[in-house]
Amino acid sequence: MQLTISSLHLYPIKSLGSIPLNTAQLSETGMAYDRFWMLVDEKGVFITQRDIPKLALFKMQLSDKGIVVNNALEIPYELAEKGEEITTKVFQDEVAGIKESERVNNWFSEQLGQKVSLIRSSKQNPRFVSNHPDTKVNFSDSNQYLLLGHASMNNLNTKLAEALPINRFRANIIFEGGTAHAEDTWRRIQIGTSIFEYTKLCGRCKVTTINQSTAEMGNEPLRTLATYRNKGKKICFGSYWKLTSSSDNQISVGDEIVILVHQPINNY
């Protein structure tokens, strides 16, 4: 069974557009700069597409100096001067962030028509994964890497009146080959020189119902997924992983996924 990475996706700012990569650099918090930034409102509460669907329409690019938003705003990888530190939450996790400059915050506030701030992850006060306390993350919902197979997506689309693109699920690593939901049953995999361990299934929310090209919201795919992908109180699709070792800290499109530990399960 050949399993091959078909695409890699970086999400520098939580809930905004993705950047497709040919090669992803791996770090101690996930892909380098994945969910490294996050928008918060005036009260410091984090903002996502759940609140503002049009966040999906902000397009991201990488430059030598930083990330570029909508070909209009460049945010440097490194702060030129120390910003204000704040504490907020990503769901139940308390996280530390550093505010970007007024130039950056004013630009986003103007675009969204409300007062917001962009914060970056604090390297001095890292966030650890709640169910894997040896693992660090930035502002992702819960874990480092989200893995999803085209077979799972193809299976879902056979149940829908209108097929949906896989970008609804905002995965980092998308692969070809295998059977639907095979990624649920793996426990340890190797990609190139990098070893990853399974952490948990990915519980899904209404962001999956948002068209990532138009920001329009509907009922699918959650309505259909609820008929066959319920586990406990969550609708699960895709699996979360953590990096445990790597000699070159990178993975690329076309790399083979090798299953090191496989554990057949019957969750549904």
CATH of the domain at 11: 2.40.33.20
Q: Is 81 exposed, middle or buried (0-12, 13-18, 19+ CB in 10 A)?
A: exposed
Asked whether residue 202 is assigned to any structural domain, the reply reads: yes
Asked whether residue 267 is assigned to any structural domain, the reply reads: no
What is the reported pLDDT for 131?
83
> In 3D, which of 193, 176, 181 has the Cα closest to residue 253?
176
What is the reported pLDDT for 265?
66
Given a cut of 70, whether residue 88 has pLDDT beyond it is yes
Confidence of residue 130 (pLDDT cuts 50, 70, 90): confident
Q: pTM here?
A: 0.96
Contacts of 156 (CB under 8 A, 6+ apart): 164, 221, 224, 225, 237
Given a cut of 80, whether residue 211 has pLDDT beyond it is yes
Number of independent structural domains in the chain: 1
Asked whether residue 119 is assigned to any structural domain, the reply reads: yes
Classify 156 as helix, strand or coil.
helix
Asked whether residue 217 is assigned to any structural domain, the reply reads: yes
Asked whether residue 165 is assigned to any structural domain, the reply reads: yes
Asked whether residue 93 is assigned to any structural domain, the reply reads: yes
Classify 226 as helix, strand or coil.
coil
Asked whether residue 268 is assigned to any structural domain, the reply reads: no
CA-based angle 219:223:227, to the nearest 5?
Answer: 175
Share of the chain above pLDDT 90, in %: 93
**Which domain range does residue 83 map to?**
4-262
Alpha-helical (H) ranges within the chain are 102-112, 150-157, 222-225
170 to 35, 128, 268: CA distances (angstroms): 12, 21, 23
Asked whether residue 44 is assigned to any structural domain, the reply reads: yes
